[in-house]
């Protein structure tokens, strides 16, 4: 039976390649992007590939926390349940590091927005639903306090911290939620040829389909049904150990607590 699948950042790169792959499999695809123009272009590309494909479009800037809330509300208004959430949207180099909420845009898009979106969509996610979180081979230790303010560190450092942090909260939520969903952090493979990789490293990169194929597998295949909290490293094509910090439940909880605190602070400030 067709599944309902939300993919954030499906207007380009691995997210768009994933949507194209899924479009041929008779699922309902909820495409998210920050540009209406790019969303409509993605829809056209999917319809060219699979004319019968069921597609919905959702626009939200994930660097803005109120937009993340609006995205969750818009999806919840149209759906009672969601089979798969792929938290794919991410940034490496950004034009402006300070977000509209006074936070670090890179931490917001890569770590905090997917947490907030997942929490808000929990009522739609069943025990067997899956949340696929885009991690990376780049993972560096992050102090919980670092999430609260714009960082003066460079893009490479902040990116690696943001990707360890999403891996850590993925494991924390997987451990702490009794009734699912299945939450799996995934490195889709390094240096795949997206605009992110071209901008960050000035190189063409590998075949995006490699990343799309693993996301589709993690989202749908039986072998991942009992893998909640495990880290899949597609550089080696198997489950693997993430950075040692993500193997420490206390540290994972501290990251999740920091994000909860930050969201509560934002709510108190913005009403
Ligand atoms: N490529 C790799 O080798 C690699 C390796 C490890 C992990 N990853 C991860 O894979 C994911 C996809 O990356 P990619 O390489 O495919 O990069 P990409 O081509 O730059 O795609 C990123 C997607 O995220 C969207 N996005 C960025 N900022 C956003 C915001 N503020 N609000 C809403 N959407 C936003 C982009 O929208 P626009 O189309 O409007 O720009 C685009 O759809 C990321 O999480 C990345 O960290 C990639």
pLDDT tens digit string along 147-198? Answer: 999 999 999 999 999 999 999 999 999 999 999 999 999 999 999 999 999 9
How many other β-carbons are positioned within 10 Å of the β-carbon of residue 221? 9
User: Using CA atoms in the order 30, 82, 66, 199, what is the torsion angle rounded to 10 degrees?
Assistant: -50
Give the residue, out of 12, 112, 214, with the most ligand 1 atoms within 8 A of its beta carbon, to mutate for a pocket test: 12
The atom of ligand 1 lying closest to the CA of 89 is: 24
Q: Which residues pair with 192 in a beta bridge?
A: 206
Structure tokens at 9: 């950042």
For helices 155-176 and 249-270, give the axis angle rounded to 10 degrees: 100
Ligand 1 atom 44: the closest Cα is on which residue?
A: 90
Beta-carbon contacts of 144 under 8 Å, excluding residues fewer than 6 positions away, are 254, 255, 257, 258
Ligand 1, atom nearest to 137 Cα = 6
Structure confidence by residue, pLDDT tens digits, 75-105: 999 999 999 999 999 999 999 999 999 999 9
Rg (CA), the chain: 17
Element (H, E) at 118: helix 113-121
Residues contacting 48, CB < 8 A, separation 6+: none
Ligand 1 geometric centre to CA of 58 (Å): 16
pLDDT for the residue 268: 86
pLDDT in tens, 7-25: 999 999 999 999 999 999 9
pLDDT at 3: 97
Count how many residues are written for the chain: 271
Asked whether the predicted pLDDT for residue 270 surpasses 90, the reply is: no
DSSP 8-class letter at 180: -
Q: What is the pLDDT of residues 55-77, one digit of tens each?
A: 999 999 999 999 999 999 999 99
Among protein residues, the one with the nearest Cα to ligand 1's atom 36 is 9
Condensed to tens digits (0 to 9), the pLDDT of residues 100-145 reads 999 999 999 999 999 999 999 999 999 999 999 999 999 999 999 9
pLDDT at site 267? 85
Q: Which residues line ligand 1 (CB under 6 A)?
A: 9, 11-15, 33-35, 38, 61-63, 88-91, 109, 134, 136, 187-188, 190-192, 194-197
Number of helices (H), then strands (E), in the chain: 9, 8
Residue 230 per-residue DSSP state: P
Distance CA 195, CA 13 (A): 7
pLDDT tier for residue 214 given thresholds of 50, 70 and 90: very high
pTM reported for the whole predicted model: 0.98
Is-catalytic flag, 231?
Answer: no
Among 95, 196, 200, name the best residue to mutate to test ligand 1's pocket (greatest count of ligand atoms within 8 A of Cβ).
196
């Amino acid at each position: 039976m067709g599944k309902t699948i939300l993919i954030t950042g499906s207007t380009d790169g691995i997210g768009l390649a994933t949507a194209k792959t899924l479009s041929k499999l008779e699922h309902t695809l909820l495409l998210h992007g920050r540009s209406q123009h790019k969303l409509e272009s993605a829809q056209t590309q999917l319809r060219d590939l699979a004319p019968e494909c069921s597609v919905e479009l959702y626009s939200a800037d994930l660097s803005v926390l109120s937009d993340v809330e609006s995205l969750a509300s818009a999806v919840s208004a149209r759906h009672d349940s969601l089979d798969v959430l792929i938290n794919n949207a991410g940034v490496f180099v950004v034009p402006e590091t300070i977000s509209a909420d006074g936070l670090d845009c890179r931490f917001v898009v890569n770590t905090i927005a997917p947490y907030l979106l997942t929490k808000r969509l929990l009522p739609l996610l069943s025990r067997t639903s899956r949340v696929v979180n885009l991690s990376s081979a780049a993972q560096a230790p992050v102090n919980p306090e670092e999430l609260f303010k714009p960082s003066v560190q460079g893009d490479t450092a902040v990116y690696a911290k943001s990707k360890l942090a999403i891996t850590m909260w993925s494991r924390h939520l997987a451990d702490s939620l009794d009734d699912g969903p299945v939450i799996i952090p995934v490195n889709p493979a390094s240096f795949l040829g997206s605009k992110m990789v071209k901008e960050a490293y000035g190189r063409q990169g590998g075949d995006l389909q490699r990343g799309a194929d693993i996301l589709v597998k993690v989202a749908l295949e039986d072998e991942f049904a009992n893998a909640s909290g495990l880290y899949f490293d597609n550089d080696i094509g198997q489950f693997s150990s993430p950075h040692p910090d993500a193997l420490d439940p206390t540290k994972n909880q501290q990251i999740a607590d920091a994000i909860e605190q930050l969201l509560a602070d934002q709510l108190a400030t913005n009403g």
